Every structure is written in C-alpha cells, then in structure tokens.
Amino acid sequence: MRVFHGILLSLVGCRTPSLPDYQPADTRFSGPALADTVAVGITTGAASVDGFQIVANVDGALVVLDPRSSTPRTLRAVGPQVWGATSLADGSTLIATDSGLLLDDTYLQPSPVQALLPSPALQVARRGGAIWIRAAEGLSVWRGGALTSLDWDGEALTAPFALGAVESGVDVVWTANARGLVAVGETSEGWAPVATLDGVTGSSIAVDGAGLMLATTPDGLLVRREGAWSAWSLPSSNLRVLANPLRVGAWVAGDDALWWTNGDYFVEMSALPEDARLPDDARTVDAVGRLLLASDGGLTIVAERPTVAVVGLRNLASIDGETTVSAQTTPADGVGSVTMEVDGAALDVTDGAATLDPFVFLDDDTHRLEAVATWQDGVQAVGLLDFTVASVGTATWVDNVEPLFQARCAKCHAGSTQTRLDSAEAWETNVDRILDDVTQRRMPLGGPALTGGEISVIRAWQEGGFP
C-alpha cells in the first residue's frame, strides 16, 4: 500500500488555485442529435471497448455487440449489470460488473484481480501496462502483478476517474475525494498528486483527447485546459460528463438536456429517442466520440456531427491474416458512398466493407486506413485507423504464388514459347530473375506492374524456403 505522504502534498498544495466563478454556458448552438438505435433488446448498461465492440446488458444477459454482426455474442445468459470495460494488451476484455470483475478471454471467467478488491469494481481503464480500477472503497492501480491502492492525504479516492491528460509533463489520472480534485501521476517519488483543486468535489470526471478535463460539481461544470480552470453553469440538474481519450470533445448529460462541448461552447442536442437514457455511472463514449445510450429498444448511438467509424480492427492493432474492416456511419441513413484507402491507395469497398491483405503491407511501417463517407446531401466525414502487420508466416505456392502466376503471368509463360514458369520448380529456379524482372517492371510484359504486396508474396515464399 502506498500512501501520499504529507511532504509531497505540501509541495503541490501550496499553489492551490482559487476556484473561478461560474459563468452561464455559451449555448448558442443547438440542433437535433444524430441518433441511430441498434435494435437488440432492452439495454440497461453498456460500455465501449476498442474496435467498437460494446459490452452490454441486453434483456438481462451479458453480451458483446459487434457492429459487424447483427447478433450479439452472449457471454452469460443471466447477466450482471455492466459498469465499465477495457481491452487488455492481449486482446481480452476486462469487464466491471455488479457481480465483480470478469475477464472475457476465450471464455468468460472471474478476474483474479477481483479477489484483491474489497468490493466489485465500478470502473476499469487501461493505459499502457497499468490498469486503473475503482471500487466503492477507492482507486487502485494494477501493474506488474501488484495492486496499489491510492489515497490523497490518507483519504481514499472514491470519485470516478478519467485517464488522459498530461500535467507537469506526466500522464495523469484525474479523480477526487471529499477534499477536492486531484491529478495523480507517476513521479520520481512514485504515484503522487501533480495538480489539485481544493474545496470542490467532482461527482463525474472526463478527459478528452485534447487534454480537456471536465468535472461536474454541485454548481455546474469545471473545465481545465492547459493548467487553467474555468467554470460553467448549465440549466439542468444531476450533470454527468463523458468523453473518450481518443477524441476531441465531451458530452455533458443532465436530467433534462444533453450537450456536446469542446470547452468553448456547448451544442445542445434535441430530439433524442424518448426512452434513451444514460446508464448511471456509465462512461460510454466510443473511439469516434459517439455517446452510447441505453434504451428499451436497444442501444442508441448519438453523434454530434456526421461520423464514420472504421470497425473490425482496434486502432494501432497489428494484422496477421486477411482482416475485414467496415465503415459504420452515423446517421446510417442517406449515405451516398463510402470509399476507403490505405496509404493513399484505394481499397475495394463492397457494402461498406473492405479486406486488408497483410501481404500488401509487409513492411514495418504503420499504415493508415482512411474511410470517407459522403451523404446524399454532400456532407462528408472521415474515419481513420492506423495498423501494422505482424509476421504473416510464409506464403505458399498453392495459396499465394500459383494464383499470382495464373493471374499475371500464365497467358505468356504457361506454354512453350516463352520461358516456362508454370511450376513451383520453375519459379524456384528462376526466383532471382523473376524478382528482378518484376521489381524493375520488365515483367509482366506490357504491364501493369505487380503491386508491392504481390512482390512481397514472392519474397515471403522465397524467405520461407519455397513451401
């Protein structure tokens, strides 16, 4: 157990800023929310994880909703309530529920970390190798096989936390207790407060992708940007803030209104489906910034502006086989076209989906997939996803090289006129000349040249010993 000692506190506590006055929020803008309901059944709680999967309680069962499939994957038929979820480095998912932390690996099992906690985890989030966990008793961090519970001045940090902002050069986690708001970061002294605001309690805290920190207080909303505080009052009660650290902007939900804000102004959303509601204690904003609301009809996805998400792959994930990605638009209706390209080269898009072939992107670079959706009224949205390619194993004659030969060379090299290349043996004997000819674009005679991916197939086959 590590506690924050008084010494550290006096270092940071001496510069506590005074609380700014609350200003009426600038709500010049308002308009109908762009909302689509994914009809799955009565949804009571939901959490978004990387790759746009959503862990939810639907019709009493614990399920995973994947935007690429219309049928939820049932994890447990009698499902606990979902408070939060996070993806782990190995691709499994840690789910905080009212019956404890569960691990969705190849099958669903209780997480061993729960046994170290005094009560069910209410919130989980991973950053790098650290998993942050909040239970009723306070905030802990799990790293390297050890759980450390954190406190501030001997008092547990019980408020919801938010990952994401940088303060004094370190990544921090914002949270609060009865004393005030605190940003905890890893310093040379271990985990310690690196920024604080005494005298306010934050009942809900969020940090967006631009480092904007929002905390709700009994009087309204506090916003911190680049070390400076501002305060807003909004005409609704029981405010909650939600954001995704990958996305600029945050949602502010009250009992009778919903706003999107970038910290400068507030866009009020109107005309939400009547039964759409924010599950208590939920932090459900997906990686393109859409708010996920529970409803009796399913899950309502609310976007502040037309949005396209590339789903099917986590951002920065690595592919090791053919991988299908698809573009999911909000609103779903009225889309005229969806195009996708990788590093500027167009992909074949059918029904909004495209296949990534690892052989095409064999080098060590990070590749950028860009999806552009154009609605019939001319509005456009762009979705981005970065990925790398893991070792793809080896290409084989039957699966990879022979089809390439048939498609690009056979019309001239299968008979007796030109050099015969219609067998694995002939390719093996001539592989250096073949590689030279195709990279120099002498072959296929009359073009078009082989793509980098097609050339990589030949190289991978050679490197693998011609299987």
Residues that bind ligand HEC (CB under 6 A): 408-409, 411-413, 418-419, 421, 430, 433-434, 437-438, 443-446, 450
The residue (of 362 and 438) whose beta carbon lies closer to ligand HEC is: 438
Give φ, ψ of 19 to 5 degrees. -70, 130
Residue with the closest Cβ to ligand HEC? 409
CB of 362 to ligand HEC, least distance (A): 17
CB of 421 to ligand HEC, least distance (A): 6
Sign of the alpha-carbon torsion through 301, 79, 44, 91: negative
The residue (of 372 and 412) whose beta carbon lies closer to ligand HEC is: 412
First to last CA, the chain: 55
CA-based nearest residue to 170, from 189, 153, 187, 150 = 187
Q: Which residues of 280-394 form beta strands (DSSP E)?
A: 291-294, 298-303, 307-311, 317-319, 323-330, 335-342, 345-346, 353-356, 367-375, 380-389
The residue (of 177 and 456) whose beta carbon lies closer to ligand HEC is: 456
Label residue 111 left, alpha or beta by phi (over 0 means left) and psi (-120 to 50 means alpha): beta
The residue (of 284 and 462) whose beta carbon lies closer to ligand HEC is: 462
The residue (of 42 and 410) whose beta carbon lies closer to ligand HEC is: 410
Q: Give Dmax (Cα) for the chain.
A: 88
The residue (of 323 and 439) whose beta carbon lies closer to ligand HEC is: 439
Strand order, beta sheet including 82-87 = 82-87, 93-97, 100-104, 108-110
The residue (of 5 and 411) whose beta carbon lies closer to ligand HEC is: 411
The residue (of 390 and 407) whose beta carbon lies closer to ligand HEC is: 407
CB of 429 to ligand HEC, least distance (A): 10
CA 23, CA 230: separation in Å to the nearest integer?
Answer: 8
Q: Which residues of 40-179 form beta strands (DSSP E)?
A: 43-48, 54-58, 61-65, 73-76, 82-87, 93-97, 100-104, 108-110, 121-127, 130-135, 138-143, 146-149, 151-152, 155-156, 162-167, 170-177
Q: Exposed e or buried b for every residue in 90-99, given b needs 16+ CB within 10 A?
A: eeebbbbbee
CB of 397 to ligand HEC, least distance (A): 14
Map residue 389 onto helix, strand or coil. Answer: strand
Question: Structure tokens of 418?
Answer: 């030109």
CB of 430 to ligand HEC, least distance (A): 5
CB of 168 to ligand HEC, least distance (A): 58
CB of 450 to ligand HEC, least distance (A): 6
CB of 343 to ligand HEC, least distance (A): 23
CB of 354 to ligand HEC, least distance (A): 24
The residue (of 76 and 408) whose beta carbon lies closer to ligand HEC is: 408
CA-based nearest residue to 163, from 223, 209, 229 = 209
Sign of the alpha-carbon torsion through 116, 48, 204, 188: positive
